[in-house]
A and B are shown apart, each in its own frame.
Chain A
Amino acid sequence: MTAIPLGVPRRLVEFTIDGEKARVPEGATILDACRAAGKDVPTLCHGDTLTPKNACRLCVVEVEGARTLVPACSRKAEPGMEVHTDTERARHSRRIVLELLASSVDLSTTPEAAGWIKEYEAKPDRFGPEAARLNEEPRVDNALYVRDYDKCVLCYKCVDACGDQWQNTFAISVAGRGFDARIAVEHDAALTDSACVYCGNCVEVCPTGALSFKSEFDMRAAGTWDESAQTETTTVCAYCGVGCNLTLHVQDNEIVKVTSPHDNPVTHGNLCIKGRFGYQHVQNRG
């Protein structure tokens, strides 16, 4: 008979962050330790349900003895490591990353971007108004979600969520190379002509709002989107018997967005088309 797997016992790793002692279980990352210690390290491409991609380089920290800055999101903590999160070198690097991103990408719906730009004194404008931007219109080709390439930082989180890490639909991928690289469905077609199953799990992980629910997109366009006036209530989906937890974002008694808690044992933050979008019937109030 097989016993319940308890997992390999994990030792605690001791090291220091900014001179203070830190203890985390073996296998935890520097970012885990920083967050446990209450240190603010900015991240864009890190997703709590995804394998780190090391794409944005915003979370870099300095490790004594290391030649280069290391990404906190993926570097595992090691015994005796001396980590510095706020050195001039780390701050300089973050400033450059923010300047490059903010000059080429629309970060207006990236939750904490404005604060970081201020904190790190980034000056995205210094590249002038001619800085390369895509300048594309948002793609609205279906009733459920919108793709706004002007806001895409190519972090690949959506590709991972759609691909082998969760959804296994493989509707989107990185197409092109270098400056031409972009996230696309096959032949860069409309979503409605792709393999997309409209689970919205890519939207769930998008850090910048490049992917957004049409409900949110329309309300933002109309100037009525107001997160401070929204409540978030977690309940259970009304469709099949799997029992996915839904967090209903409600504004003025209308459900405007549906997410799922990332630490939920049933969903791990993922939903299907019915759970994500099948709420309209309750508010067809005549």
Chain B
Amino acid sequence: MSKRNRTPKTYTRLTHPLVRDSRDEPFRQASWEEALDRTARGLERNRGAFGMFSCARATNEMNYVAQKFARVVMGTNNVDSCNRTCHAPSVAGLSAAFGSGGGTSSYEEIEHTDVIVMWGSNARFAHPIFFQHVLRGIRNGARMYAVDPRRTSTAEWAESWMGLNVGTDIPMAHAIGREIIHAGLVNEAFVERATTGFEEYRALVEPWTLSLAEKVTGVPARAIRELAHAYARAERAQLCWTLGITEHHNGTDNVRALINLSLLTGHVGRYGSGLQPLRGQNNVQGGGDMGAIPNRLPGFQDILDPESRLRFESAWDTVIQPHYGMNLTEMFEAMEEGSLRAVYCIGENPAQSEADSDQAVRRMRQLDFLVVQDIFLTKTAELADVVLPATAGWAETEGTTTNSERRVQRVRRAVAPPGEAREDIDILCDLAARLGRDWKYADSEAVWNELRSVSPDHYGMTYARLEEHQGIQWPCPSTDRLEPTYLHGRLWEKDPDARGLPAPFGIVQHDPPVDLTDERYPIRLTTGRRLDSYNTGVQSGGFASPLRRGEYIELCPEDAERYGVVVGEEVQVSSRRGAVVAPVWIDTALRPGLAFMTMHFPDEVDTNRLTIEANCPIAGTAEFKASAIRIDKLPVATIVR
């Protein structure tokens, strides 16, 4: 099958600040002085109605300064990033169970485990180098189980692939839990010592017999039973998940349902046994750790805790609002209501990454003032009043990022930025000065040392030690010691004081996807990543990948036959929110009634016009993974290109 001819949009770097007086005008080049003055005025007049979109792609240091800017300069906790569109439910679920939102294990541990469950994760494509650790584990004798509606390239390595219906993860997890209980495979000592709510959980999962689960999930009862026994009987087991779990309207509940299985079996808090949410952006973990989220101060400290607030108030000489700010989803809703009037968007592209993108764009157009700081003139930047050219965090600045295994690693400047592009932190400090706060940081290390002084879990990580150890995993409270590579070992302590707070079972109910399939919209559309592309493609579109073939609507051979469509034929794809035209691709990894698209080529096919903004009430993540669509053949005349 040959590739179709595409002329993909490539983005060139921003080299000068851009401003305009009204949104109808084109941008004109401006000096930094003018652009910053305009920005300061735009933010000043909207105090009290301000939101910061920080950047999950930029360094920890930049995220620290950005959230400090929101909290100290603008006096608001309205700061968030695109963690909201991916793994916020993982953080919320893990925090609710263990008091900490990080993955509990390290990559190396998966090489030394006995059972690996990859749930809603095509790590072979989305996290290829993590998957090399999984492959080592498999070669060392571990059995891997893949739970995914699609038979992905990850599933090719599995002992067993469980192709469940989209949005039936909770029935599946509950049936596994029930089977473990009924087979007498509960780790009773652990459940008794380290958890609460087991009796409630037992009652919750009791109706989920294997045969009921088979009806709801579409996975044979025998296969569910096999996974339950393999997981519970393993000496060590790792449970990994990605966005197949989190990008649902009940993403946090999904996460809790998986965590329950680890509590039932004691597969957490030990070397080789743990929970691993695979993060989707280079620093989405770090952004949250640095406090660029509406409910936490740097270092995982709760805003509602007066002692934490006091520590930061004295360190920053300010007053911190004693309530949570708005998350990204709520900020978009507030734009609609008019209670959020100004946004400072750093390195994010919500005009294309948000679910129901037409709505997101319409809302941003209603803002009184939008400043976008980025390395490209993205679709979001095209909506702005001021555009500030920044450096590329990973290659043009010094700093650190934090990966999925909580490892803080040094980022270094290798190339000089183009034109007048400036570092994010310098821009933020210049704006802070115009708005009455004089911050001086000699370099990124000075920012990092300030963070270390306010975050005990980062205190032990000096730049010198990060260099020496090729990165250090948090928590690292001491400068002369390293902690174990896994979290929550405390749960295994015999002494109740050392054990600390027990982990509660999550009492969560099954709730099917919001966007129901029916006669009009009979196909379930799910979304995901390909190996060589990334998110909205602004970054990955820059290199010539021989694998890249652009956006398609992928169908199984049976559906293609039913609708009478062939590979390459353009069809209209519609949901209850919008419609796009996309060519057809046929993939045998799909099943009748299940279609797949990516979000990598929004300039060709804007997949997020189809997706539904049905949000998880706890974490605010939208249900990107489950839309109801229909496909229609185009009238012959319009096929002419």
Contact = CB atoms under 8 A, between A and B. Distances in A.
Contacts of B534: 239-240, 274, 278
Given A4-B271, A240-B127, A245 B545 contact: no
B394 A235 contact: yes
A198 B543 contact: no
B285 A250 contact: no
Contact of B470 (A3, A164, A255, A264): A264
B502 interface: no
Interface string A141-175: 01110000000000000000000101110000000
B236 A253 contact: no
Nearest to A254: B415
A278 B394 contact: no
A142 B547 CA distance: 10
Interface in A228-286: 231, 233-245, 248, 250, 253-255, 261, 263-268, 270-275, 277-286
Interface string A7-51: 000000000000000000000000000000000000000000000
Interface in B85-117: 107-108, 112
A5 interface: yes
A221 interface: no
Which of A164, A192, A241 has the largest number of chain B CB atoms within 10 A? Answer: A241
A238 B129 contact: no
A235 to B, nearest CB: 5
A236 B279 contact: no
B279 A240 contact: yes
Interface string B381-404: 000000000001111100001111
A52 B542 CA distance: 38
B543 A2 contact: no
Interface string A181-193: 0000000000110
Interface of B: prevailing SS: loop
Given A2-B235, A248-B415, A286-B418, A237 B282 contact: yes
B544 A242 contact: no
Interface string B119-131: 0000000111110
B541 interface: yes
Which of B107, B132, B411 has the largest number of chain A CB atoms within 10 A? Answer: B132
Interface of A: 1-5, 142-144, 164, 166-168, 191-192, 196-199, 231, 233-245, 248, 250, 253-255, 261, 263-268, 270-275, 277-286
B299 interface: no
Contacts of A277: 543, 545
Contacts of B402: 243
B135 interface: yes
Interface stretch (B6-14, B244-252, B610-618): B6-14
B401 A243 contact: yes
B404 A242 contact: yes
B414 A231 contact: yes
B57 A238 contact: yes
A283 B391 CA distance: 11
Nearest to A5: B112
B612 to A, nearest CB: 25
Contact of B540 (A191, A199, A234, A239): A239
B492 interface: yes
B576 to A, nearest CB: 31
23 contacts: A2-B271, A3-B271, A5-B112, A191-B546, A198-B545, A198-B546, A235-B410, A236-B394, A244-B129, A253-B415, A254-B415, A255-B414, A271-B129, A274-B531, A274-B540, A281-B376, A281-B392, A281-B543, A282-B395, A283-B415, A284-B11, A285-B15, A286-B15
Contact of A282 (B129, B392, B544): B392
Contacts of A239: 281-282, 534, 539-540
Contacts of B273: 2
Which of B283, B532, B543 has the largest number of chain A CB atoms within 10 A? Answer: B543
B539 A241 contact: no
Contacts of B282: 236-241, 243
Which of B126, B395, B542 has the largest number of chain A CB atoms within 10 A? Answer: B395
Contacts of A265: 107-108, 407, 470-471
Contact of B135 (A168, A192, A235): A168
Nearest to A2: B270
Contacts of B546: 142-144, 191-192, 196, 198
B413 A233 contact: yes
A192 B404 CA distance: 32
Contact of A199 (B128, B403, B405): B128
Contacts of A253: 415-416
A240 B394 contact: no
B538 interface: yes
Contacts of A286: 12-13, 15, 418
A240 B236 CA distance: 27
B405 A243 contact: yes
* Shortest beta-carbon contacts, A-B, top 6: A243-B403, A241-B279, A281-B542, A272-B128, A233-B414, A238-B394
B375 interface: yes
Nearest to B272: A2
Interface in B261-283: 270-273, 278-283
Nearest to B394: A238
Contacts of B527: none
Contacts of A264: 470
B118 interface: no
A254 to B, nearest CB: 7
